[in-house]
Amino acid sequence: MKVKHMKLTKNARQSGFTLVEIMIVVAIIGLLAAIAIPNFVKSRATSQANGCINNLRQIDAAASQFALEKGKKTADPITFPDDLTPYIKMNSGNAIPACPAGGTYDCSAVGTKATCSLGSTVDPAHVSP
Protein backbone atom coordinates (compact mmCIF):
# COMPACT_ATOMS: atom_id res chain seq x y z
CA MET A 1 0.00 0.00 0.00
CA LYS A 2 1.36 3.32 -1.04
CA VAL A 3 0.98 6.36 1.18
CA LYS A 4 1.06 9.75 -0.34
CA HIS A 5 2.97 12.30 1.67
CA MET A 6 1.52 15.76 1.54
CA LYS A 7 4.06 18.44 1.28
CA LEU A 8 3.30 21.38 3.60
CA THR A 9 4.23 24.66 2.06
CA LYS A 10 3.71 28.03 3.60
CA ASN A 11 2.83 30.93 1.53
CA ALA A 12 5.33 33.71 2.25
CA ARG A 13 2.56 36.32 2.07
CA GLN A 14 0.64 34.70 4.94
CA SER A 15 3.57 34.20 7.30
CA GLY A 16 4.56 37.80 8.15
CA PHE A 17 3.65 41.44 8.07
CA THR A 18 3.83 43.56 5.00
CA LEU A 19 5.91 46.70 4.84
CA VAL A 20 2.75 48.83 4.70
CA GLU A 21 1.39 47.24 7.89
CA ILE A 22 4.66 47.88 9.74
CA MET A 23 4.75 51.48 8.48
CA ILE A 24 1.18 52.08 9.73
CA VAL A 25 2.07 50.76 13.19
CA VAL A 26 5.21 52.92 13.33
CA ALA A 27 3.19 55.98 12.22
CA ILE A 28 0.60 55.37 14.97
CA ILE A 29 3.32 54.99 17.62
CA GLY A 30 4.97 58.20 16.34
CA LEU A 31 1.66 60.07 16.53
CA LEU A 32 1.03 58.90 20.09
CA ALA A 33 4.56 59.91 21.10
CA ALA A 34 4.10 63.35 19.50
CA ILE A 35 1.01 63.87 21.65
CA ALA A 36 2.34 62.38 24.90
CA ILE A 37 5.90 63.76 25.15
CA PRO A 38 5.00 67.50 25.27
CA ASN A 39 2.36 66.80 27.91
CA PHE A 40 4.89 64.84 29.95
CA VAL A 41 7.43 67.68 29.76
CA LYS A 42 4.79 70.25 30.75
CA SER A 43 3.59 68.18 33.71
CA ARG A 44 7.18 67.70 34.87
CA ALA A 45 7.84 71.46 34.76
CA THR A 46 4.59 72.13 36.65
CA SER A 47 5.51 69.59 39.32
CA GLN A 48 8.96 71.14 39.74
CA ALA A 49 7.43 74.63 40.07
CA ASN A 50 4.92 73.39 42.66
CA GLY A 51 7.71 71.73 44.66
CA CYS A 52 9.78 74.92 44.54
CA ILE A 53 6.83 77.07 45.64
CA ASN A 54 6.18 74.72 48.56
CA ASN A 55 9.84 74.99 49.59
CA LEU A 56 9.61 78.79 49.40
CA ARG A 57 6.57 78.69 51.69
CA GLN A 58 8.47 76.56 54.19
CA ILE A 59 11.41 78.99 54.12
CA ASP A 60 9.03 81.95 54.65
CA ALA A 61 7.40 80.16 57.59
CA ALA A 62 10.83 79.38 59.08
CA ALA A 63 11.87 83.04 58.69
CA SER A 64 8.71 84.16 60.50
CA GLN A 65 9.32 81.66 63.30
CA PHE A 66 12.95 82.81 63.58
CA ALA A 67 11.86 86.48 63.77
CA LEU A 68 9.28 85.73 66.48
CA GLU A 69 11.63 83.72 68.65
CA LYS A 70 14.61 86.06 68.29
CA GLY A 71 12.64 89.33 68.59
CA LYS A 72 13.59 90.51 65.10
CA LYS A 73 11.65 93.20 63.29
CA THR A 74 10.90 93.76 59.61
CA ALA A 75 14.00 94.34 57.47
CA ASP A 76 16.39 92.86 60.05
CA PRO A 77 18.94 90.74 58.17
CA ILE A 78 18.79 86.95 58.08
CA THR A 79 21.86 84.79 57.60
CA PHE A 80 20.46 82.27 55.14
CA PRO A 81 20.38 79.30 55.63
CA ASP A 82 22.10 79.14 59.03
CA ASP A 83 19.49 81.17 60.95
CA LEU A 84 16.61 79.11 59.54
CA THR A 85 17.92 75.56 59.90
CA PRO A 86 16.42 75.04 63.39
CA TYR A 87 12.98 76.08 62.08
CA ILE A 88 12.69 74.02 58.91
CA LYS A 89 12.58 70.31 58.19
CA MET A 90 15.86 69.29 56.59
CA ASN A 91 16.21 66.87 53.69
CA SER A 92 18.17 63.61 53.82
CA GLY A 93 21.44 65.53 53.27
CA ASN A 94 20.75 67.62 56.40
CA ALA A 95 20.22 70.78 54.33
CA ILE A 96 17.29 72.99 53.46
CA PRO A 97 15.42 71.34 50.56
CA ALA A 98 16.69 72.43 47.16
CA CYS A 99 14.72 73.63 44.16
CA PRO A 100 13.70 70.55 42.12
CA ALA A 101 14.67 72.35 38.89
CA GLY A 102 18.15 73.29 40.12
CA GLY A 103 17.54 76.86 41.31
CA THR A 104 18.94 78.28 44.54
CA TYR A 105 17.02 79.96 47.34
CA ASP A 106 17.65 83.23 49.12
CA CYS A 107 16.00 84.89 52.10
CA SER A 108 17.96 87.93 53.18
CA ALA A 109 15.72 89.86 55.56
CA VAL A 110 12.77 89.48 57.91
CA GLY A 111 9.51 90.33 56.15
CA THR A 112 10.76 89.71 52.62
CA LYS A 113 9.62 86.67 50.69
CA ALA A 114 12.09 83.91 49.97
CA THR A 115 13.10 83.80 46.32
CA CYS A 116 14.32 81.18 43.86
CA SER A 117 17.08 82.06 41.40
CA LEU A 118 14.92 80.72 38.56
CA GLY A 119 12.07 83.07 39.49
CA SER A 120 10.11 84.11 36.42
CA THR A 121 12.72 82.91 33.93
CA VAL A 122 11.00 79.53 33.61
CA ASP A 123 7.42 78.56 32.80
CA PRO A 124 5.64 78.06 35.14
CA ALA A 125 7.37 80.60 37.37
CA HIS A 126 9.11 79.65 40.63
CA VAL A 127 7.62 82.56 42.59
CA SER A 128 5.65 82.26 45.81
CA PRO A 129 2.18 83.77 45.58
pLDDT at 1: 56
Answer for the pair 126, 53: CB distance below 8 angstroms, yes or no: yes
Q: What is the pTM of this model?
A: 0.75
- CA dihedral 43→47→52→53, nearest 10 degrees, is 90
DSSP symbol at 57 = H
pLDDT tens per residue across all 129 residues of the chain: 555 555 555 554 567 889 999 999 999 999 999 999 999 999 999 999 999 999 999 999 999 999 999 999 999 999 999 999 999 999 899 889 999 999 999 999 999 999 999 999 999 999 988
pLDDT at 15: 73
pLDDT at 120: 92
pLDDT at 71: 95
- Residue 124 CA to residue 18 CA, distance in Å, equals 46
pLDDT at 40: 92
Residue 103's CB is within 10 A of a number of other CB atoms, namely 19
108 vs 1, 5, 94, CA distance in Å?
104, 93, 21
Answer for the pair 96, 59: CB distance below 8 angstroms, yes or no: yes
pLDDT at 54: 96
pLDDT at 16: 86
DSSP symbol at 14 = G
Which residues make Cβ contacts (< 8 Å) with residue 48, sequence separation at least 6?
99, 100, 101, 126
